[in-house]
Amino acid sequence: GENVEQHPSTLSVQEGDSAVIKCTYSDSASNYFPWYKQELGKGPQLIIDIRSNVGEKKDQRIAVTLNKTAKHFSLHITETQPEDSAVYFCAVSKVGSQGNLIFGKGTKLSVKP
């Protein structure tokens, strides 16, 4: 089955710096790649997603890039702020899976003021 690996597991940056989180997947049939942000005590919140027919997508300070050949995709957060501190999860879905998501194990991002 699909295997999603997420790195790093923890990431600490200074406010204003950029943060990059990377996920790799194993199944070449995967075609939907969302990113979720989870604050302490809350449910995951979708922050950005990308489909396999697109290589990059940007939404203000957040961007996602996809390399289908290498089977990896990355979340980029620029100009980080303390409120970006949270756990971030990548996920993958493929055709024929009824839209079911396979999640990475998460990255705890800490932004220091």
Give CA–CA dist 45/54, Å, rounded.
22
Q: Does 40 bind another protein (CB under 8 A)?
A: no
Residue 84 or 104: the one with the smaller Cβ distance to another protein is 104
How many residues in the shown chain lie near another protein by CB under 8 A?
29
Nearer to another protein, 52 or 65 (CB): 52
Helices (H) and strands (E) in the chain — how many of each? 0, 11
Bridging pattern class, strands 56-59 and 62-67: antiparallel
Rounded Cα distance between 38 and 16, Å, is 21
Segment interacting with another protein (CB under 8 A) among 11-19, 61-69, 74-82, 94-102: 94-102
Residues that bind another protein (CB under 8 A): 6, 31-32, 34, 36, 41-46, 49, 51-52, 89, 93-106
